[in-house]
Amino acid sequence: MRLGCTMGSKCAAPQMGIGTGAAFNLNQHFALDSQFLTLVNNDSVQSLYEAGQGGRGEEFLLGVRTEVRTRHYGFFAVDRPGLVSWSGALTGVTFTPTTNNGFDLSYQYQRRTNFADEFGGGAEYSPNDRVHVRVEMADLMVHTNGTIRYDIAGVVVPVCMSACSSWTNNLQTTVGVYMSAGRAMEWSPNRFGERPEHPFLDRTNQMLIATSLLAQAADAITTQRFLRHGIVEGNPIAAPFVKYGWSGQIGLAVLTNVGEIGGMRALHKMHLHRMERMLPLSLGSASAVMSYRNQQISDRPSK
């Protein structure tokens, strides 16, 4: 999990975690999905930069997974609300007067548990009916309490770090191997590889891909513009790329479009043609909305 931060010099390296997950398949398209993860490292640095974080992080999430699949391949989206808990979050600082008119500092740490919601998607490969390998990328949005109590010579003052109550975005990439148990469910897999109803690069798909590229270009231009104004990118997936300027922005665009066209191709071969058309339409619409928001931010007068 890449922890929420300013994506600058104080951005900690991604933390590694390990855990377990379980799901109950309602039908071939929907499942109740849960996971419990704990971060491997005990992070004493993060608490100095992000109020509400620090120590060892744990998360428990329970939500819904929706999926389209063939016998061996599948694409899915997840939405899992839950809790994220940190064992050693900074909660207070005490200033004790000394004889030389100075202060001694002491820090108080305790566990803090916050509401979270993970939204993302990924792909699945199933060599047989019992083994499933899943790769997932998601935005773990955590509602943090940023209040720290400052005790100055017996006078307690609560101070909000950034905001007393705010959301942080955390990029989380998960790779897991899952084993199926219980009675196999009766389902009809989508056809894969048979002759499709239309050519992949027909006129409609060409127009949709071109429109998506134009919207992404507008998003990229306005993103680089507001970064030059000193505004921080809030998207946890884009931030590690765009902070390097146009080289990172172009690299992100290449990865995005390879994923987009590859996903369209896979849905095309699965004969899911409506979803095939919706993929570039959704990505283009999201890029257009973000371009508009970026422009609004860039046009705000500086303080």
pLDDT 10s digits, 211-261? 999 999 998 888 888 788 777 776 777 877 887 788 888 888 898 898 889
Residue 299: partners with Cβ closer than 8 Å, 6 or more residues away: none
Strand segments, DSSP code E, in the chain are 17-25, 30-39, 57-69, 73-97, 103-125, 131-152, 155-179
What are the sequence ranges of the domains in the chain? 17-179, 203-298
What mean pLDDT do residues 261-290 have? Answer: 87
What mean pLDDT do residues 137-150 have? Answer: 82
- Residue written as token pair 């329970």: 62
**Residue 303 pLDDT:** 46
**What is d(CA 227, CA 270) in angstroms, rounded to the nearest whole number?**
40
**Residue 194 pLDDT:** 61
What pTM was computed for the model? 0.73
Confidence of residue 191 (pLDDT cuts 50, 70, 90): low
**Residue 8 pLDDT:** 43
Burial class from Cβ neighbours inside 10 Å (0-12, 13-18, 19+) for residue 138 reads buried
Confidence of residue 50 (pLDDT cuts 50, 70, 90): low
Q: For residue 302, give the DSSP letter.
A: P
What mean pLDDT do residues 68-97 have? Answer: 87
Q: Tell me, which fold does domain 17-179 have in CATH?
A: Porin (2.40.160)
pLDDT 10s digits, 160-169? 765 566 777 7
Measure the CA angle with vertex 63, ends 116 and 181; round to 5°.
135
Q: Does the pLDDT at position 3 exceed 60? A: no
**φ and ψ of 121, to 5 deg:** -165, 180
By the 8 A CB rule, do 221 and 242 touch? Answer: no
| Tokens linked to 16 | 């590694």
Direct distance between the N- and C-terminal alpha carbons of the chain, in angstroms, rounded to an integer: 34
Q: How far is CA 220 from CA 137, 161, 210, in A?
A: 21, 30, 15
**Coil, helix or strand for 299?**
coil
The pLDDT mean for the chain works out to 82
What mean pLDDT do residues 13-17 have? Answer: 76
